[in-house]
Chain A
Amino acid sequence: MQELVLVQPGQSIEGTRARELERSGAHAEFEARLAECGPLAFRIAQGVLRNAADAEDVAQEALLKAFRSFHRLRDPRRFRAWLVRITFRMALDRSRSAKRREQRETEWSMPQRRPLPPTAEDLAASSEFQARLERAVEELPEKLRLVLLLSALQGYALEEVSALLGIPTGTVKSRLFFARKQLAEKLR
């Protein structure tokens, strides 16, 4: 049976095929990285947004964005660092827009803030501390915040964070030091 190929005007069949092959190669390569980098994207988004549903949405969008531009990536070894930055930036945007929306809705309806249902004393103390910690992390400068979140990821040593962000280990150490110090001062 004869194979029919749809070709755009002004393009040769060879050119179209080469592009298709290139794209399918990039697709396969991306697919191979997806299993490893998907959870990383989700965790970073979760660290910023602290809401699993929102974090999943952001991780999905970030992975799709990375997929669409994957064939343009010059150095595939920098893929994880690239994905980390995309995800962090998108999560920050989502967090800011959610805050603005919340502020708008509060201004319009002025709802009464309901306290959390009382549970065991330890749990209450723990959730209160967690809320303060989340607020304090939110107030950190972006650079410090990203290093702090990546360092808190399980299985990521300082050297790996340094490789992920493309900055020297010393810089990672100093950023982590200032982040932890500022956090402790806010929580004291």
Chain B
Amino acid sequence: MNCHCTREQITDTLATGHAELTGELTGHVQSCAECRALYAQQAELFHAMDSGLSAMVNEPTPASLLPRVRGRMEETRTSNPWFYRFLPAAAVLVIACVIALPLVRRSLRSGGVQVTVIPKPSENGAEPRPPLAGGPEESMVSPATRALSPHLSARPPAARRPEQTIEVAVLVSSEESQGLLQLAAAVPRSPQWAQAMLHPVELPPSQMEPMKPIEIANLEVQPLSEEKQ
């Protein structure tokens, strides 16, 4: 056993709380003066450490401690303010408000246009035509534009608030009603669709389909009655 190992083992042995060395270690310490001196020094250090620690924690307890604690205990028992009982409930309420507030704000922000699709009566006139909410200009706006733009809704602007759900009645043919409903439901989830649909796309002439001129049979052109006179 060399001196380096011995020194480490001396520290380890003393750190476990054993003051006496054993076996091979004792033999080396007895034969090596340097290690013997180190052992004596380390043993003294650990002894001083133990004494110091013991002095730190084993001071006599002040006689005033227990009477003070008893007095405070009695105070606590007798003066239990009524509002302490409501503290947990109040804390829960505050936490619930803190959690709910962002949710409420988010739901208010996400309130957009709610579209009610009224199927247009078929050509044979089987279904009665429901009254429009917004007057004659209602039918002049395309359904998609109306669904996306709150400015084109039927209600007067003064009655509308910006963060409110706006109800719009749109008159469409019965074949288109299902598709329009799906579109109205999908648009609030994808704002980029709404933006794309509000801005017309300018197609190059090569991609535009040619349109035939309108042909109207039996068209008779007459001058206006005022111009006649």
A residues at B contact (CB < 8 Å): 23, 27, 30-31, 34-35, 38-39, 42-44, 46-47, 50, 52, 56, 59-60, 63-64, 67-68, 129-130, 133-134, 137, 148-149, 152-154, 173, 176-178, 180-181, 183-184, 187-188
Closest to B69 in A: A63
Closest to A150 in B: B57
Does A129 lie within 8 Å of B48, measured CB to CB? yes
Hey, which chain B residues are within 8 Å of A154, CB to CB? 54, 58
Hey, which chain B residues are within 8 Å of A184, CB to CB? 11, 14-15, 42, 45-46, 49
Hey, which chain B residues are within 8 Å of A183, CB to CB? 49
Does B56 lie within 8 Å of A42, measured CB to CB? no
Contact of B56 among A30, A152, A187 (CB under 8 A): A152
CB distance from B13 to the nearest CB of A (A): 10
Enumerate B2-61 residues with CB–CB distance to A below 8 Å: 11-12, 14-17, 42, 45-46, 48-50, 52-59, 61
In the complex, how many residues of chain B place their beta carbon closer than 8 angstroms to a beta carbon of chain A? Answer: 32
Hey, which chain B residues are within 8 Å of A181, CB to CB? 11-12, 15
A contact patch SS: helix
Hey, which chain B residues are within 8 Å of A44, CB to CB? 57
Tell me which of B46, B54, B69, B73 has the highest count of chain A C-beta atoms within 10 A of its own C-beta: B69
B residues at A contact (CB < 8 Å): 11-12, 14-17, 42, 45-46, 48-50, 52-59, 61-62, 64-66, 68-70, 72-73, 76-77
Does A42 lie within 8 Å of B61, measured CB to CB? yes
Does B66 lie within 8 Å of A34, measured CB to CB? yes
Hey, which chain A residues are within 8 Å of B68, CB to CB? 56, 60
Closest 3 CB pairs of A and B: A152-B53, A47-B57, A39-B61
Known: A153-B57, A177-B15. A60 touches B65 (CB 8 A): yes
Contact of B46 among A31, A46, A153, A180 (CB under 8 A): A180
Known: A38-B66, A42-B65. A180 touches B59 (CB 8 A): no
Q: 9 new A-B pairs (CB below 8 Å) besides A130-B55, A183-B49?
A: A27-B73, A27-B77, A38-B61, A38-B65, A38-B66, A180-B15, A181-B15, A184-B14, A187-B49
CB distance from B155 to the nearest CB of A (A): 48
Closest to B60 in A: A39
